[in-house]
Structure 1
C-alpha cells in the first residue's frame, strides 16, 4: 500500500468546554457552524464489576451503560469567523466537552443538530458504541431519547481498508484493526493508548489525559486528509466491486450479493441520500450570516460549506448512517456471563476486587523452590512494562499465546515461577487457583508502573544491571563483549552495523537467545540516564 505520508502537525489549540457561559462554548458553537468535517470520539467511566452486579439487581438482571464523561470534537474549519481565535481556513481546533461539569441540556440541541446536519461530514472510529453510551448518558439526564442518528458518517476503518485493499481481490480481514495501527501505517505516528483505561470521571484532567483525548479526535481528521488527497490525485477509480466490498463492511444486506441488478440499486440508494442532501444544502454565502435567501440570526442555524465534486463523490460512495434501534438501547448480557456472575460468591468477589496490595511470599522465594531471582510475566495489557523491566535487568516474560485466557496465563506463571503483572481486575478472582501469583498494577504509565513494581517487591536495582538483558526476547547477553571482527561475523545476513561504529572504541554484546547485537552508542547512554532517574539510583 503506497500512501502519501504528510508530516502530521502538532496538536492544534485545545479548548476545554466546562460551562455554557464560557468563551470556549461560544467557540464550539461557531466552529460547528463553520466546519466541513467533524471528527468525534468519547471517553467514559467504566462500570466496575460490583456496580454491574448492583445495577443488575435493580434492573432485573440488565446492567446499565457506562457514563460518558468527555466528548472530543475536532473541527475542520472552512471560513474565517471572528468568534474563533484560531479562525484560519483549514485549521482544526479540538474541543473537549466536559460532560461532568457541563449541564447536558445546554449542549444536547447543539450536538443533535450537528449529528444530523447534511452540511457536516462526521468521522469516527467505531463510533456506534460511543453513540449508544452517549445517548444513554444524555437520556438519563432528561434529554428525551438522547441521540439516535448520525448522518452522513464515515468510519475511519472503511477509509483504511479502501487505501490498503483498493487494488486487491483479497477478502477484507475479519479482525478489527486498532486506531493505533491505522495511525502508524497511514500517518507514521505512534499513538500511545496508555491512558485509555484511566479514570475519566476524575477532575481536573491531567495534561496527559487532555493530550490523549485531543489526539484521538484530531488524528481522525489527519487520516481523512490523506485519504482525500489520495482520492483527488487518483480520481474516481472505484469499481462496483469496491463499493460492494465496503457495503459489506458496514453491515450490507446479504441479498446484495445474490443479484447484480438488485446490488446496483441498493448501493445507489444507500449512498445517494447523503450525497443529494449535501448537494442541495450548498448555497452561495457570505460569512456575515447572509445566505443569499434571507438572513439567519440564530446561532444554531446550519450554514452550508463550499464543496467540490471530489468531496461529494467521497460522501456518495462512503457516507453511511448510524441509526440506533430499540435493541441498541438495551445492554445485552450473555447467558454464560449471567450464570458465571451468579455462581461467584459475593464476599469472595469483593475480596478479590478490593485486595489490590501484594501479600507475599513471591513465587521465586527459595523456601518455595524458587531460585531467588525476581521473575515476572506481563500480560497483554502491560507488555510495554516488560521492556522496561528488562532494561533494568529484571527477567520479564510475555505470554506465549497471542490471546491467552486466564488459566493459560496462570499456568505459564506457575510453571516458570513468575508473578503475573496485569491491569485486569478480573484476573484477581482466579487467585484461588494459585496463591501469590497475580499482582494488579495501580499505575497507568510504564515509568510509574516500573517504580511501583520495584517498590512493591523490594527489588534491588543497581546501575550495573541497567541494559543487561535483551529487550527484544528477554534473553541474557554473552558474558564478554565481542570484538569488531566477531560482531561483523555475527551480523552477516542478520543485522546491519553502521561502518562508522568500527572507528570508535565501542563494545558489542549479543543475546544468547535471539542473537540480536547491541552496542554502547548514544541510545544506550540515553537509556541508562533515563532509567537511573526513574529508579532513583544515586550516580
Structure 2
C-alpha cells in the first residue's frame, strides 16, 4: 500500500492512498471489493507498453487503475480518495473478469474516463487472450472527461458527446489549474517491478478524473441543473490536494517518497463469505462478484447521470485492429535504414557552443523543448541555465534559431528534428532517459558539467532567472511581494532570509520544501560522496 500524504492547510486536508493489487488473495484485493460497494463514482484508466504504429495486434494492458471516492460511513466524515492499481501481468485474469464486468455495467456506479473506449478495446483483447470470452463490451453509466470539459468551458451543451482534441493534461490545466506531467506515458508498462514513479503517475492519472468531476458537479449545482438540496462544493478547494501532489512532484523527488506497509493497518478487513464466494467455470476459478451489494446513487448524482450520462458499447468491428490506410505500400530499404539511423542518432561529439575556444562565455546553456520541459526545471535547480521555447508550439526551425542565437544546446527526445538538413553541428542532443532524475544525470555526464552545493537552488525554477545576490529581510520581502505574491503569515516569526528572482520577481525562502529540494539534488548528483 502506498500512502501519498498531501500537506494541506487546516481548511482542507486529505491524502491519496494507493493500493497495488497483485493477487486476488491479498488484503488489497479485499479492500478493492469493499471500496467498490461504497463508491458511487470511480475513475478508470489503463496503461500498456507502447506499440509500433503498424503492429497488427492490440497491445496487452499491463495495469488497470480504479480511483474511488469512498462515501462516508454512518456518523463519519468524508473519506480520503483511494486508487487501486490492478497489476494485470500478475493477477490471473479469469479471477477478476466477472468482478470488472459487474463494475462496468453497475447502475449504482458512475464510471469516469478519458476516451476510455480505446482502453476498453485493449482490455477486452487482453482478457480474451487468457480465455475470458466474450471480453468486455460495455461501460454504463459512463461520463467522458472531454464532455465535462465542454460543459465547463460553455462551448456546447448537446446530448451527443462532442469531438475533442484536447489532451488530459490540457483539460487538467484548464479545469483544475494544475500541470499534469505525461513524461511516463510512453514508458514500458510491461516491465516488472513497476517503479515508484510509474505507480504515482498511474494513480494521479485516474485520481484527476474524480477531481475534474467534482468541479463539474459543483457547477451543475450552481447553475441549477439538478434537483434536491445540495451543499455547493468549492472548486478552489476541490483540486487543492491534486495540485499539492503535482507541485511537490515537480520540485521534490520524481515522486513523493512512499513506503509500503500492511494494508490492514489502514482498514481492518477480513474476507467474508460473500467476498470469497467463487465457482468453477470452464475449468477456471472465477470470483462471483454478483453477490456483492452496492449502495444506490443519491438524488444529485442520479440526476446528473440521467441528463449527461452516456455509455460505451463496442461493436464487432471495434475488436479488430484497423489495417493501415496505405495498404500494399511497402517502405523502401532506404526509408527503413534511415529510420534505424534516427533511433541511434543524437550522441554528442565535439565542443558545445559555449566553449571558450569557439567564442563562447564558458557557461553551459541549454534549450529544452516541450518533450523534456521537466528537465529544464531540474537543470535550473542545480544552477544550470536552461531555457524553454519562446512559443508553446514552436516549429523546428524556431527551436534551432533560438538555440543558435543564444548559443545553447537544444535538448530533445524528438528524433524527427534530426531529419532537417539545416541543423547546425553540435547544436542539438537527443536525451535518451525517460525520467527527469536520470535525464539530469545523463546531461551532466554527457557535457561534463561541474555541479557544486553552492549552485543548488541559485536560479528561478519558474523562469530561469538569477536571484538577487543580497538576501531580503521579512519586511523587504513583504514589500517586494505586494500585488503578485502572498507570503504565509506563519513565516513572519521565523527570522528567515528571502531571495528574489531578478527577472520575474518571484520570492523564495528557506522553508522545508527548499531544504528537501537541496537534499534531493545533493543525493542525485552525489555531492556528499
**Partner SS for 2:104:** helix
Partner of 1:331: 322
Partner of 2:5: none
Query: Alpha carbons of 1:183 and 1:503: their partners in 2 closer, same or farther (altered >3 Å)?
Result: closer
1:203-227: CA deviations, max 9, x gaps?
1122332233233323433443554
**Partner SS for 1:373:** coil
> How many residue pairs were aligned?
456
Query: Alpha carbons of 1:316 and 1:415: their partners in 2 closer, same or farther (altered >3 Å)?
Result: same
Partner of 2:14: 9
1:459 aligns with 2:449: yes
The alpha-carbon deviation at position 72 of structure 1 amounts to 0.9
- Largest Rg, 1 or 2: 1
The alpha-carbon deviation at position 332 of structure 1 amounts to 6.4
1:41 aligns with 2:34: no
Contact 1:35 1:78 (C-alpha < 8 Å) held by counterparts: yes
Distance (whole Å) between structure 2 residues aligned to residue 527 and residue 27 of structure 1: 35
Distance (whole Å) between structure 2 residues aligned to residue 497 and residue 223 of structure 1: 28
Query: Alpha carbons of 1:304 and 1:531: their partners in 2 closer, same or farther (altered >3 Å)?
Result: closer
1:107 aligns with 2:100: no
Distance (whole Å) between structure 2 residues aligned to residue 476 and residue 79 of structure 1: 49
Query: Alpha carbons of 1:88 and 1:479: their partners in 2 closer, same or farther (altered >3 Å)?
Result: closer
User: Which residues of 2 match residues 126-205 of structure 1 at below 5 A?
Assistant: 126-144=115-133, 146-163=135-152, 165=154, 176=166, 178-179=168-169, 182=172, 185-186=175-176, 192-205=181-194
1:160-216: CA deviations, max 9, x gaps?
4445549999xx996625357538854x77655443333211111223322332333
Partner of 2:250: none
Contact 2:172 2:179 (C-alpha < 8 Å) held by counterparts: no
Greater mean alpha carbon deviation, residues 108-117 or residues 138-147: 138-147
TM-score, length of structure 1 as denominator length: 0.68
Contact 2:138 2:312 (C-alpha < 8 Å) held by counterparts: yes
User: Which residues of 2 match residues 301-380 of structure 1 at below 5 A?
Assistant: 301=291, 303=293, 305-325=295-315, 328=318, 329-331=320-322, 333=324, 345-355=335-345, 357-368=347-358, 370-380=360-370
TM-score, length of structure 2 as denominator length: 0.69
Contact 1:74 1:94 (C-alpha < 8 Å) held by counterparts: yes
User: Which residues of 2 match residues 132-531 of structure 1 at below 5 A?
Assistant: 132-144=121-133, 146-163=135-152, 165=154, 176=166, 178-179=168-169, 182=172, 185-186=175-176, 192-225=181-214, 227-228=216-217, 231=220, 235-236=224-225, 298-301=288-291, 303=293, 305-325=295-315, 328=318, 329-331=320-322, 333=324, 345-355=335-345, 357-368=347-358, 370-427=360-417, 433-476=423-466, 511=502, 514=503, 516=505, 518=507, 521-522=510-511, 528=518, 530-531=520-521
Query: Alpha carbons of 1:32 and 1:495: their partners in 2 closer, same or farther (altered >3 Å)?
Result: closer
1:480-502: CA deviations, max 9, x gaps?
78999999998787777899989
**Partner SS for 1:200:** coil
Contact 1:14 1:214 (C-alpha < 8 Å) held by counterparts: no
Query: Alpha carbons of 1:338 and 1:181: their partners in 2 closer, same or farther (altered >3 Å)?
Result: farther
Partner of 1:122: 111
Distance (whole Å) between structure 2 residues aligned to residue 531 and residue 324 of structure 1: 48
**Partner SS for 2:290:** coil
Distance (whole Å) between structure 1 residues aligned to residue 11 and residue 501 of structure 2: 37
Contact 2:496 2:509 (C-alpha < 8 Å) held by counterparts: no
Distance (whole Å) between structure 1 residues aligned to residue 30 and residue 174 of structure 2: 34
The alpha-carbon deviation at position 9 of structure 1 amounts to 2.5
**Partner SS for 2:348:** coil
1:280-335: CA deviations, max 9, x gaps?
xxxxxxx997xxxxxxx954357453333322211101110112345544336566
Moved segments of 4+, more than 6 Å: 87-91, 166-169, 337-341, 478-505, 523-526
Q: Which has the higher helix share?
A: 1
Distance (whole Å) between structure 1 residues aligned to residue 422 and residue 93 of structure 2: 44
**Partner SS for 1:12:** strand
The alpha-carbon deviation at position 151 of structure 1 amounts to 1.4
Distance (whole Å) between structure 1 residues aligned to residue 107 and residue 398 of structure 2: 50
1:105-163: CA deviations, max 9, x gaps?
44334323332333432111221232233233334445446333211101234334445
> What value does the CA root-mean-square deviation take over the aligned residues?
4.8
Extract unaligned runs of 5+ from structure 1. Answer: 56-62, 81-86, 239-286, 290-296
Query: Alpha carbons of 1:316 and 1:501: their partners in 2 closer, same or farther (altered >3 Å)?
Result: closer
Contact 1:364 1:417 (C-alpha < 8 Å) held by counterparts: yes
1:72 aligns with 2:65: yes
1:76-99: CA deviations, max 9, x gaps?
55698xxxxxx9996755332212
Extract unaligned runs of 5+ from structure 2. Answer: 1-9, 228-271, 275-286
Contact 1:34 1:303 (C-alpha < 8 Å) held by counterparts: no
Distance (whole Å) between structure 2 residues aligned to residue 452 and residue 353 of structure 1: 17
**Partner SS for 1:393:** coil
